[in-house]
Structure 1
Amino acid sequence: MRVSGQIDEDLDNKFNELLSIFEKKNCRKISLYLNSYGGQLFYGVKIGETVRKKNIETFMTDNCDSACGYIFIGGIKRNIKKYRTMGFHQTSVDDGRCITKKTSVDLIDRKIIEFGNSYVRMMLGDKSSKKWISYEDMTNCNNMLHVSSSELLKDGIVDNVFD
């Protein structure tokens, strides 16, 4: 299965429709290939949780930035093509503000940050999730920090680098 484009409610609906088709055909193993510059955190987490629940293996052969990474880490095995990078940035909210634990202005901002961070900890464990969160904090929401496949492997964010 390939996922491309904006991560939003429409993608979530299409993803679940395809999963239903695969399940009706009794597919035993599903692989998910990702290509996205990101989108909405909520749907990245939601799709990522489904990926984990359905025991899907994830592959990054093209771009995977921002909310795409949340889908990627849902994989039961996470694979990245050699020389690819994953893009990280701080979370933003609808009014365009970047938010972190330090810059959040209200309870809603803090809940959004904790929502993403809790998911990352659940998918990656303590050590790797700390690296993930530190990458997000290294830049603001208007820029992207690209981390190499070898660094992601070293950090435990990916399981396998392939040619």
Structure 2
Amino acid sequence: MSGQIDEDLSGKFNELLSIFEKKNCRKISLYLNSYGGQLFYGVEIGITVRKKNIETFITDICDSACGYVFVGGIKRNIQKYRKMGFHQISIDDGRCVTKKTAVDSDDIEIIKLGNSYVRMMLGDKSSKKWIGYEDMTNCNNMLHVGSSELLKDGIVNNVFD
């Protein structure tokens, strides 16, 4: 999966999955290459990834909303020396949104969506690490975390050469 995480990519992903299902594919692996996109579609695709028992791989770039797709994987793999990018949630108007800066109920719901999804996919300990990484920067910068740290934190299940 390459490109912007958005409605268009979500639709293409679902179309491809239906083709795989018609061909009775038993195992699907998803290789990610994305600078991110919209949180909602990252979560939506990630939930589908989990429901369909898909294994995820980072062999290139996986920043921002791409990480939400990645953690949907039943097994999450990252190539040695690769990194995943984290930042605070941003809204379409360019605002960074945190618990402290939320201005309305929509902002709060977006934060809850991201946090509850990560807790559901990773459990309490690893999701706290994830949320901590997001909180370390603002939405205009990217914090890149390496494969060994992600493995130690439980965000990744496997590091491969």
* TM-score > 0.5, shorter chain as reference: yes
TM-score for both structures, normalised by structure 1: 0.98
Which residue of the partner structure matches residue 118 of structure 1?
116
4+ aligned runs moved over 4 Å, structure 1: none
Structure 1: gaps (5+ residues): none
* Identical aligned residues as a percent: 85
Q: Within the alignment, does 1:79 sit opposite 2:74 as a pair?
A: no
User: Equivalent residue for 1:5?
Assistant: 3
Find the residue that maps to 2:59 and give its secondary structure.
strand
CA distances 1:109-148 after superposition (whole Å, capped 9, x unpaired): 1110000000000000000000000000000000000000
CA distance in 2, matches of 1:64, 1:94: 20
Q: Structure 2 regions of 5+ residues with no counterpart?
A: none
Q: Which amino acid in 2 is paired with 1:52?
A: R
Please point out which of 95, 98, 101 is paired with 1:97: 95
Q: State which of 150, 153, 156 in structure 2 corresponds to 1:155.
A: 153
Q: What is the CA–CA distance in structure 2 between the aligned matches of 1:9 and 1:104, rounded to whole Å?
A: 24
1:106 — aligned with what? 104
Paired residue for 2:14?
16
For these two proteins, the number of residue pairs brought into alignment is 161
The normalised TM-score by structure 2 is 0.99
2:139 corresponds in structure 1 to: 141
- Partners of 2:85 and 2:129 in 1: CA distance: 13
Tell me the equivalent position of 1:25: 23
Partner AA of 2:10 in structure 1: D
Residues in 1 aligned to 2:13 and 2:120: alpha-carbon distance in whole angstroms: 22
